[in-house]
Amino acid sequence: MKQTVYITGADRGLGLALSRSFLEQGYYVFAGRYMQDWTELDTLQSEYPEDLEILPLDVNNQQSVDEAARQIGSRSGQLDILINNAAIFKDRSEDIYGEFHYEDMMKLYETNVFGPLRVSQSVIPLLLKGEGKMLANISSEAGSLADSWRKKEYGYSMSKAALNMQLTILQNQLAEHGIKVMAFQPGYVKTYIMGDFNNEATIEAEVSAAGITKEILKFPPLEEHMFIDYEGNKMNW
């Protein structure tokens, strides 16, 4: 069987672009779909009917996550690359002088922090059997402590900082098994992460996806810095 990659949040935007990018590289793609009524993945599957498998996936639901992992295991028996891409952004412009919406912040943590951890844990046995042994995650410069500049977006920024910490711990634990963990700053991508399509963003999803794909397929050594942008530049933690 071809080399395999599992991409979460593949319905649209960066996840969809990553799915196409890896298909173009000759990979068999397991694409996690959350929105059943969004048809772009179906269109992509019609172009690659032998190499794209769509999996229903809610990263906040343990049963859904486990079933997706079971299907991957049943289909291939191993996994070379996992890309935790699924994430949400909620911003009501909270600031310390106004009102905080803690319920929204908890949803950010549930999806952006615990979602990737659930998915990663579910496929570790498959990654151990794969050749690539790559656990990649879409993070953000918003999670950088060294380069923090925002005066709002508390929930989103804190969730990405928590994700980054999660990834360093994963790398500490998985290094003995040869699994490389990476965190990517995708750039200010034109996506739907804010709900509506963000035309104010500066980077096309296809450009970011091509860069991330290129960096992943370099399969950098375990000791190389984990947090980089889509062009391969080192990011500060």
Longest dimension (CA), the chain: 57
Domains of the chain listed by start with CATH number:
4-229 (3.40.50.720)
Express each pLDDT in 138-178 by its tens digit.
Answer: 999 999 999 999 888 899 999 999 999 999 999 999 999 99
46 Cβ contact partners less than 8 Å away, ≥ 6 residues apart = none
| Averaged pLDDT for residues 178-188 | 95
- Annotate 188-200 with b (16+ C-beta within 10 A) or e (fewer): ebbbbbeeeebee
The residues facing 136 across adjacent strands are 83, 182
pLDDT at 99: 83
Residue % of the chain over a pLDDT of 90: 84
CA distance 146 to 74: 43
φ/ψ (deg, to 5) at 111: -85, -45
* CA pseudo-torsion sign 169, 170, 171, 174: positive
What is the pTM assigned to this prediction?
0.95
